[in-house]
A and B are shown apart, each in its own frame.
Chain A
Amino acid sequence: MFHLSSEDLGIVALSLRVAVVSVVCSLPLAILVAHGLARLSFPGKTLVDAIIHLPLVLPPVVVGFALLVLFGKRGPIGSVLEQWFGIVFAFRWTGAALASAIMGFPLMVRAIRLSIEAIDQRLEVAARTLGGSRLWVFASITLPLALPGIITGTLLSFARGLGEFGATITFVSNIPGETETLPLAIYTFTQVPGGESQALRLSIIAVVLSIAALATSEWLTRSSKRLQGDDRR
């Protein structure tokens, strides 16, 4: 029974590509934002924090609709991006990646921010007195010490991206081979007569992928903590 068709494999590959690209592209920004929220105080910080957390509380369909309005071919951002850089999000797999990046962003920022806030700031001060510039201290002290949070945030966002449905289907629709990720495919197969077995196969793959992501996260977090001189298990 468990024989994956080339169509199945294509769906899995697309899903992984969307999730990986969304995570890789949003990680640097998430670290920057998390660091800013953890270490800076500026007017409007609460508002920035609220906006970042919005995708967590809004119905995903609303996020997808907002993306469609903003990043669509005629949208204020989408039209500029297409004209100036030739980047198109609407009805492309890149749009799916954007949707899952935005849905996973609050999870990522939250985990990284917590781990940065847990670092003793005086360690950074000590590094400065030893001759490290702000940037070097960030790279050599802050980032390595925040690594467990960065790993957790990345994996949470990755898992969120694999499961993303509402925002994706609203923003980039359900185009086989282009935007039809795992959840969208499973949904489609449940809607056609005789599609249950394929839906079941894909669901099992989703479960396996999620468990693998969790296990990887756990393992990475442990080994990064060990690297940091924390031998507690």
Chain B
Amino acid sequence: MIAVDIEQQLGAFHLQVKFAAEAPIVGLFGRSGAGKSSVINAIAGITRPSRGSIRINDLSLFDAAKGIDLPPEKRRIGFVFQDALLFPHMDVESNLLYGQRLRSPEDRFIKEARVVELLGLGALLRRKPRMLSGGEKQRVAIGRALLAQPRILLMDEPLAALDVPRKTEILDYVERLRDELIIPIVYVSHSVAEIARLADTVVVLSDGKCLAVGDVDEVMGRLDLKPVTGRYEAGSVLDTRVSAHDGEDQLTTLDFDGGQLIVPHLDAPVGERVRARIRARDVSLAIQKPAEISILNVLPAHVTAIDDETGPIVDLQLAVGNVTLVARITRRSFRELEIRTGQKLYAMVKAVSFDQRSVGYA
């Protein structure tokens, strides 16, 4: 459990954030300048809030009222920085062991061999950071943070400096960490796709304030958070389970609480929990059940909320069984179909609109 309740003045920017979250991966989401970095810098002890408290489980890292302020080296927070920040004068192995050597042997729960194997670092140990690619550097940085035997791992936009294939690679590694090392992770990002794929609980920050805390599928589907989650990125997250593979057409069927989704082949065993993110702009609507159509996913739904701003676009919140879906249509379609709250209709999602980054292990 991580509980943060802090206030801090940084020049003209006022940070006042309060949240408590307990999850394998807590996503800290917000636009740049929302205060994400300020929050994790305070958690790590790099900056000092003027008031409030920070706790991990029962341990108080910071409490202004009680005069507690542990220095960074005593907090045991594994910090993974955006640009890795490997020590240039040490080879990969010395980087990895920097933190471990500072912990007493009985505190070393996470072993070097395990981390090297998990992050695929075996071939890199003798190299200097200068000779590593961006993705390799980030893997070493993650391993270095883990070997310092942290209570919690803070990842500050760890993918921001990487290209798309590297991003996918690191995402896979982060999921492996969560599943195999059982270490809580706070994952900071401005990307809805990353948060939706990784986080269980999400904390939404905007303008130095905490706007929402909750399950990622619930929070990401909320229309009132759209100004923060963004027009382009608006969408919803479905918790699903792999129910079948179609080898011939290379498709995978996912079951969720309200129906089935067909997506391009997914490398996951039947029964595996999988999370699928559906962007609002990938959902189209029909009043009658369409026939002779290429779209594989046609889901019966009803309208639960309408986000009717001015402008050419209308967002609709739909209920499909017990899950929420967001659909984005033009104002003209909205008018011509005469859509009302409570109306029954069909939501359609093309199977090809799912890609590697929108479907991941839950």
Contacts and interface: CB of A to CB of B under 8 A. Distances in A.
Interface of A: 120, 122-123, 125-133, 136, 140-141, 144-145, 227-231
Contacts of B72: 125, 128-129
B144 A130 contact: yes
A123 B148 contact: no
Nearest to A228: B89
Given A129-B44, A133-B73, A229-B128, A122 B81 contact: yes
B102 interface: yes
B89 A129 contact: no
Interface string B128-157: 111100000000000011001000000000
B99 A130 contact: yes
A100 B98 CA distance: 40
Contacts of B128: 229
A123 B87 contact: yes
B85 A120 contact: yes
Given A122-B85, A227-B89, A229-B89, A129 B78 contact: yes
B187 interface: no
Contact of A132 (B44, B73, B130): B73
Contact of A230 (B88, B102, B145): B88
Contacts of A144: 89
Given A131-B73, A131-B148, A125 B46 contact: yes
Contacts of A128: 45-46, 71-73
Contacts of B77: 129
Nearest to B130: A229
B256 interface: no
Given A122-B81, A131-B73, A131-B99, 15 more contacts: A122-B85, A123-B87, A126-B81, A126-B85, A126-B87, A128-B72, A130-B99, A130-B145, A130-B148, A131-B76, A132-B73, A133-B71, A228-B89, A229-B128, A229-B130
Nearest to B107: A131
Nearest to B91: A229
25 contacts: A123-B85, A125-B46, A126-B79, A128-B45, A128-B46, A129-B73, A129-B75, A129-B78, A129-B79, A129-B148, A130-B73, A130-B98, A130-B99, A130-B148, A131-B76, A131-B102, A132-B73, A132-B98, A136-B102, A141-B87, A145-B89, A228-B88, A229-B88, A230-B130, A231-B130
Can you list the 8 inter-chain pairs with the closest CB atoms, starting with the nearest? A130-B99, A229-B128, A131-B102, A128-B72, A228-B89, A129-B79, A126-B85, A130-B148
B289 interface: no
Contacts of A140: 98
Interface in B62-111: 71-73, 75-79, 81, 85, 87-89, 98-99, 102-103
Contacts of A132: 73, 98-99, 102
A130 B76 CA distance: 7
Nearest to B82: A122
A230 B99 CA distance: 23
Contacts of B102: 130-132, 136
Given A126-B85, A128-B71, A128-B73, A229 B99 contact: no
B37 to A, nearest CB: 12
Contacts of B44: 129
Given A144-B89, A231-B130, A129 B46 contact: yes
A145 B81 contact: no
Contacts of A131: 73, 76, 99, 102-103, 148
Contacts of A141: 87
A130 B75 CA distance: 9
A133 B101 CA distance: 13
B336 to A, nearest CB: 55
Given A122-B81, A230-B130, A127 B98 contact: yes
Contacts of B131: 229
A40 B130 CA distance: 30
Nearest to A125: B46
A134 to B, nearest CB: 8
Nearest to B71: A128
A120 B81 CA distance: 13
Contacts of A130: 73, 98-99, 102, 144-145, 148
A48 B103 CA distance: 39
Contacts of A136: 102
Contacts of B103: 131
A229 B44 CA distance: 28
Q: Which one of A126, A132, A144, A231 has the highest number of Cβ atoms from chain B below 10 Å of its Cβ?
A: A126
Nearest to A140: B98
B69 to A, nearest CB: 14
